Structure 1
Amino acid sequence: MIGFDYGTSNCAVATMQNGQPKMLTLGEHGKFMSSSLYAPSRDVIPNWLHKNINEPYKSTFANSRGFLISKGQEALEDLRYDGIPEHLSFGKSALERYLDDPSEGYYIKSPKSLLGTSGLLPQQIVFFEHIVAAMMAHVKHHVEEELQHDVTKVVIGRPINFQGRNSEQSNKQAIEVLTNAARHVGYQDIEFQYEPVAAGFEYEASLKQETRVLVVDIGGGTTDCSMLLMGPELMNKADRSAALLGHSGLRVGGNDFDIQLALKGVMPNLGINGKLKSGKPMPVNSYFKAVAINDVNAQTDFYSDANGRFLEQLQRDSEQPEILGRLLKAYNEKLSYQLVNSAEQAKILLTESNSNNIDLGYLTENLSQDVDRNLFLEASENQLNSIAKLMSEAVNQGGAEPDVIFVTGGTAKSPVINDFIKSKFGNKPVVVGDHFGSVTAGLSRWAETIFK
């Protein structure tokens, strides 16, 4: 039995050994695999999945996905004819293959953030199911290789809400995708646990007395808050419903901070603050859609033929057509992920330094942009205010002030974000957990509790 954090930014797995969670090594990825996938063609993903799962799941998958496997076979033959590697890549190697030639292949980062999207067509839902299953199969292979036995029982982490709008339907859709994907790859007993509750379970192991804890989990795709009653006497109880005092969650996380920093720190170099020859300000809708990598519909609109024609006309109408040429390059070469990745790397560097330089040489030779923490704070204002509301909502549901605030999630590593959280609670103690491992460890604790 394992706890599986299928995260927006990273995937991680832990199992209980000698009463303590042990993070497992996922092959070449180490303990954390970046949540990204690259395929030379999106059509070959079902074929890779069929090849890389075991019986009887292989036969079941073939029976339900025969048409898509046949379609993928044609794509595989084209790849072989052109001498293009047909394998899928995951984690950092997926990003490397994408950056090697952004205009070719299919790359997706953080598919979890898209699973609850409203308005997805049935074939789109099946497509995401295959992406998730491929990533799960890759992780499961490494887990079973390390443990030297099959793993069939899993607790998977989930946010409070996958999306802000139509949250009930969104959550149902996302959970169904995750459940179906897990079944495809051979998990038989599948349970879910809220990610902030799981993080709370890990913090609870250090408590000596009953404590009201506000868990603030700022992940890659969502921020989730839970008010929990925790302590030694509550540990190992399978029914914790009376101790779960309040929950709140919203799709605002690391991806959103990256996107906002891209808009503030990168997009001025593509003309977002420019003017048209008429003197009117530059229309900004295409700039927002260009970096909205967590919005399927926005990305579809940005890369549509109609938007390509619109951008060409916008370049002709611009006071600085050479600058608009960079936006057209982003369109033609499918650079959305590269633009946001530039902002993400800058955000990470701002954790250790007050300022740094973003290399934008892939747009124009020798182009770069300086960014600092003040710019990041300005870009993040709306996201930080949303997080403050979530914290207040969870506390209000709990009906009492927390004794301690436990902060986790990779995005919370940022001093800008951390200082903001501390400023909201005055003299309340703020404990910072393992930014990347608390949820995974807590999921493994819960797996032992409910499956033993």
Structure 2
Amino acid sequence: MSAMPLPVAACGIDFGTSNSTAGWSRPGQRALLPLEDDKLTLPSVIFFHAEDAHVSYGRAALADYLDGHEGRLMRSLKSLLGTSMMDEHTEVAGRAVPFQDLLAQFIGELKRRAERAAGREFTRAVLGRPVFFVDDDASADQRAQDTLEEIARKTGLRDIAFQYEPIAAAFDYESQISREELVLVVDIGGGTSDFTLIRVGPERAGRAERRDDILASGGVHIGGTDFDKALSLASMMPMLGLGSLLKSGREMPSSPYFNLATWHTINQAYTRKAWAQLAELHRDAADKPKLERLQSLVRERAGHWLALQVEEAKISLSGASVAHIDIGRIAAGETVTLHRAELDRAIDALVTSVEQTVSRLLVDAGITASAIDTVFFTGGSSGVPLLRERVLALTPQARCVEGDLFGSIGAGLALDAQRKFS
């Protein structure tokens, strides 16, 4: 009988757009480490308090913001990788801070919490990455990975490897099965949709090199935050004036609404310049009550609050036909009712792009849909009904398996770290 492999001082880190995890592979124990109380996920959120130097993370950060503490909330920082903003600064507590330092601060906290839970230091790690940080630009995609590696080294990690997130999810699924399968992994995260067609099975699991098992990988820069944005623009922003007219007959400029509907640009709506432009638009607006709602939202710095309401409505509509949003914070006594059909219409074009990406993946692999044994769904947004229906329609004979929507990637990265660094 072969001896059980000893745990190595290497972890798997899934730095996600919306949620992050860290895992450490040990015989007979779950891989994921508790990061916030007993929770295995840490929402990828930072809140910088204005009154003092205190910084909060994850659910605590969201709670501090929603409780009305003065400060700066930042979320979806991963979405900046591969963009020009990664070379820029932003104002935090009255000083200019590079975005790279903000990512290093969050990943460093994630690493510290993992080490505290494991009772040991980690200097080696496998980091998850999307199949494409940047669509259709290989050099920009490589720069994004290089930037993430540089940031990870600032946190004390010395030996770093990368693994595609859907492949990591496949490794987690592989640890749960007893026979060989051809699996299509569908990973719909906060910022990207990633896919891998891979052969998995108990006899393959111990191999150090898995390149020959991977038939194809692909992805597109569409994820749950894009669904949130589309739903917000379709259902909420018109209440604040999007699509309304100025007295001249021209349509209201859309940039303030797009900033407020996009997680990592919400803070741009709070600048002095943006406020001055908003006052000018209010003077020229034909429908002033809608602009007054928008002014109230910006004055209260409630953009993140509204984005959270939209996100929660999207999640609710994944399991119900109707969701309600209480917008009393910016419009006293008002509630917005949303229907599943509205979500479907809002995200239809995005889901079509995801569907087309999966179709191309099967063509590139030279595999017919009937050859696929299992479609394995992971990622927090893979439960969106329209998306799941469209993907499963491409593989009607395959078995549908739902993994740990927030934990499969982190657990798979921990398994990969065990293999790579043992």
Tell me the TM-score normalised to structure 1 length: 0.83
Aligned residue in 2 for 1:73: none
Larger relative helix fraction: 1
What amino acid does structure 1 have at the position aligned with 2:72? Y
Indicate the SS of the match to 1:190.
strand
1:24 aligns with 2:33: yes
* Amino acid in the other structure paired with 1:149: R
Asked whether the 8 Å contact 1:373–1:416 carries over to 2, the reply is: no
Task: Report the more deviating stretch, 373-382 or 416-425.
Answer: 416-425
Partner SS for 2:305: helix
For residues 87-143 of structure 1, the C-alpha deviation after alignment (integer angstroms, 9 at most, x for no partner) is 1100011122223448x4222111111121136436579822222222222222222
- For residues 348-367 of structure 1, what are the structure 2 equivalents within 5 Å? 348-367=315-334
1:445 aligns with 2:415: yes
SS, match of residue 404 in structure 2: coil
In structure 2, C-alpha distance between the alignment counterparts of 1:332 and 1:176, rounded to whole Å: 39
1:369 aligns with 2:336: yes
Deviates more, 1:261-270 or 1:121-130: 121-130
Aligned to 2:6: none
Q: Is residue 128–residue 177 contact of structure 1 (8 Å, CA) maintained in 2?
A: no
For 1:430, which of 384, 400, 413 is the aligned residue? 400
The structure-2 alpha-carbon separation of the partners of 1:23 and 1:120, relative to structure 1 and needing over 3 Å to count, comes to: closer
8 A contact 2:36–2:42 mirrored in 1: no
Contact persistence 1:262–1:340 (CA under 8 A)? yes
Which residue, out of 199, 216, 235, partners 1:265? 235
Q: Is contact 1:273-1:281 (8 Å) kept?
A: yes
Q: Distance in 1 between matches of 2:267 and 2:71?
A: 16
2:309 corresponds to which residue?
A: 342
Using the TM superposition, give the Cα deviation of residue 437 of structure 1 relative to its aligned residue in structure 2, in angstroms: 1.2
1:38 aligned partner: 47
SS of the residue corresponding to residue 217 of structure 1 reads strand
* Correspondences of 1:32-431 after superposition (within 5 Å): 32-40=41-49, 84-101=51-68, 104-118=70-84, 120-121=86-87, 127-164=98-135, 166=137, 168-294=138-264, 300=268, 302-303=269-270, 305-401=272-368, 402-431=372-401
Secondary structure of the 2:205 match is: coil
Worse-matched range after superposition: 207-216 or 317-326: 207-216
1:421 Cα deviation from its structure 2 partner: 2.4
Bigger drift between 382-391 and 116-125 goes to 116-125
Q: 1:123 to 1:364 in 2, by over 3 A?
A: closer
Q: Provide the C-alpha distance between the structure 1 equivalents of 2:225 and 2:232, rounded to a whole number of angstroms.
A: 10
Q: Amino acid of the residue matched to residue 322 of structure 1?
A: P
Does the CA contact (< 8 Å) of 2:87 and 2:100 recur in 1? Answer: no
Q: Which amino acid aligns with 1:198?
A: A
* Structure 2 gap segments, 5+ residues each: 1-9, 91-95
Tell me what 1:11 maps to. 20
RMSD: 2.3
Residue identity in the other structure for 2:87 = L
Q: How many residues align?
A: 405
Question: Residues 107, 239 of structure 1: CA spacing in aligned structure 2 closer, same or farther, 3 A cutoff?
Answer: same
Secondary structure, aligned partner of 1:435:
coil
Question: Which letter does structure 1 place at the counterpart of 2:131?
Answer: I
Shift in Å at residue 304 of structure 1? 5.2
On the 8 A contact 1:37/1:109 being kept in 2, the answer is: yes
Task: List runs of 5+ in structure 1 lacking aligned partners.
Answer: 42-83
Change (3 A) 1:448 1:120: closer
What are the Cα deviations for residues 282-323 of structure 1, in whole angstroms up to 9, with x where unaligned? 3434322321224x5x964x5555543333232222222021
d(CA) in 1 for partners of 2:270, 2:132: 28
The equivalent residue for 1:65 is: none
Q: Partners of 1:177 and 1:100 in 2: how far apart?
A: 34
Query: In structure 2, what residue type is equivalent to 1:229?
Result: R
- How far apart, CA to CA, are the structure 1 residues paired with 2:399 and 2:68? 48
